[in-house]
Structure 1
Amino acid sequence: MSAAPVKAPESGTTGVFSRGRAAIAARTLRTDQWWLPPLVTVLGFATFIIYATVRSFQHNYYWVAKYEYLTPFYSPCLSKGCVEGSTHFGTPIPDLPHWIPLGFLVLPFLLLFRLTCYYYRKAYYRSVWMSPPACAVAEPHAKYSGETRLPLIIQNAHRYFFYIAVIISLINTYDAVISFHSSGGFGIGLGTVIITANALLLWAYTLSCHSCRHIAGGRLKHFSQHPVRYRFWTVVSKLNTRHMQLAWTTLGTLMLTDLYVALVAAGKVTDLRFIG
């Protein structure tokens, strides 16, 4: 892949083209396919965003009354326009127009939690913001202000979005417990397994968060004096090493869970029952 020429440094620039930096005329001297990982990341993000957007605005096929399956994209469903039975926490919100998703109270916080996640920052900084797109590849930005100005200053609120994500994970856990009930009583189906597995993986992703690790063991001078927090910190630290994998896995399980519930709700697929 031929390297594109780099423009001359401008006065006052603070990026890789500023005066005092190595004056290399090529964007990069790398000969490998360095652009492939950023491209795959963009395609992965785009797939999830398009799917989630379409499903969030459909306002249908999100609840299976017979087996009490509720998709995470519509949980909790608090509007009076929600399908009967899907409103586990009441209907304090009036009927919504079609251009407002039924999960509008949760979706923005989930989006902000993921956008400010330390791994996702790395992923979209390289793939979307191109800052930089890869190691030893010059970024196209002449100036860089870090996370001190809008919109990137919002990244500093990640720890607060974490607390909301914990509440949402509790709601997903409740939905998983409900999925063990059917019209005939206790039951387990393929949907139960998928919803429960998704809830567990969401817990793993949430608890593997860097903010959670800091909450567990941050500001402790002597671990020996706080054995419970130390034990929790060690568990979270082990999960933290898999944060990247969990970040991508949960994007996939969210889509899989929603797709399966939608297919069953639409009558396109018959739920495979193991018990009940």
Structure 2
Amino acid sequence: MTTTATKPGGERRRAAITAKTLRTDRWWLPSLITVVGLGAWVTYATVRVFMHDYYWVDEHSYLTPFYSPCVTERCVPDSAHFGRFLPDWWIIPEAALTLPLLLAFRFTCYYYRKAYYRSFWLSPPACAVPDGHKTYSGETRFPLVFQNAHRYAFYAAFIISIVNTWDAVLAFKTPTGFGFGLGNIILLGNVIMLWAYTLSCHSCRHIIGGRLKHFSKHPVRYRFWTIVSRLNARHMQLAWITLGTLALTDFYIMALSANWFDDLRFIN
């Protein structure tokens, strides 16, 4: 319902709209999908991380990324590529060194900020829909001020991507020599997608070319900047794809470790 008023002199004022939004489409659907999708993934990942089992396939040297690098005393010796130096307390995950850093990278990611700000915090839930909060301070106060640490979390994610790549390479070495199976394809696919997502980060784009005043004087950096810029345009899609590849990789390795079925082998 709208009403209009007239100023002294006959000039019409803006209509006083009582409805919170005039949008008639299903503006709430993307936020709902985000809540369901992220909620399901976080639930699955949390259960798997604290399951403390079914993360290593000794026959094919497969290690799930959820447990990489495996550094607690509870780890199977062959799965601990960087040593076992943390106690085996239940509350400590096997990948205690990397999980907090990966969470920091994802949590402060520019796309994920938009996703959970809109879906979980309703700030705002959609374009042309009012904010669910009475006040707005942006990312200038605790705890959101820590979102500015995203640029530093990128370096950690970059190193962790190298570790995941190393795991994928080691998976070609089996107790009987070189081997290649479906698990290797899944691990490689996951690593490729993780690199694409990591390099598509806005911080990475800024590090490569954000401070250059003259691209013509830095042709190599400009070339890399254009590649990262193309990836950056797909940052949202890559963020969701990597959630899928991580879950798929972990589930496949868990299934093999639990002897639900055997790996499809092509060589050895």
TM bucket normalised to smaller = over 0.9
Per the alignment, residue 247 of structure 1 pairs with 239
Provide the residue aligned with 2:258 in structure 1.
Answer: 266
Instruction: Provide the C-alpha distance between the structure 2 equivalents of 1:99 and 1:22, rounded to a whole number of angstroms.
Output: 58
Deviations, residues 53-109 of structure 1 (Å, cap 9, x unaligned): 00000000000011000000000011222012000011222x321122111211111
Question: Which residue matches 1:223?
Answer: 215
How many percent of aligned residue pairs carry the same amino acid?
64
Residues 31 and 184 (structure 1 numbering): CA distance in 2 closer, same or farther, change over 3 Å?
Answer: same
Candidates 5, 12, 23, aligned match of 1:30: 23
Q: 1:230 is matched by which residue type in structure 2?
A: Y
Aligned length: 256
In the other structure, the counterpart of 1:72 is 65
Amino acid aligned to 2:228:
V
The residue identity in structure 2 corresponding to 1:44 is: G
Q: 1:130 aligns with which of 93, 99, 122?
A: 122
Q: Is the Cα contact below 8 Å between 2:110 and 2:202 reproduced in 1?
A: yes
Deviation at 1:22, TM superposition (A): 8.4
SS at match of 1:58: coil
Deviations 1:87-139 (A, max 9, x none): 0011222x321122111211111111011111111111110110110111111
Q: Rg: which structure is higher?
A: 2
| Correspondence for 1:6 | none
Q: Select the residue among 61, 76, 83 that pairs with 1:83.
A: 76
Q: What CA distance in whole angstroms lies between the structure 2 residues aligned with 1:231 and 1:22?
A: 52
**How far, CA to CA, are the matches of 2:15 and 2:252 in structure 1?**
53
**Does residue 212 in structure 1 map to residue 212 in structure 2?**
no
TM-score normalised over the length of structure 1: 0.90
1:140 alignment counterpart: 132
For the 8 Å contact 2:186–2:249, the answer to whether it is kept is: yes
CA distance in 1, matches of 2:246, 2:16: 46
- The gaps in structure 1 that reach 5 residues or longer are 4-20
AA paired with 2:64? T
TM-score by length of 2: 0.93
| 3-state SS of paired residue (1:85) | helix
Identify unmatched segments of 5+ residues in structure 2.
2-13
Aligned residue type for 1:193: I
Letter in 2 for 1:182: T
TM alignment of 1:1-276, pairs within 5 A? 24-93=17-86, 95-276=87-268
Q: Deviations over 1:191-236 (max 9, x none)?
A: 1000111011000000000000000001111111111111110110
**Equivalents in 1 of 2:206, 2:173: separation in Å?**
37
Query: Counterpart of 2:266 in 1: which secondary structure?
Result: strand
RMSD across aligned positions (CA): 1.4
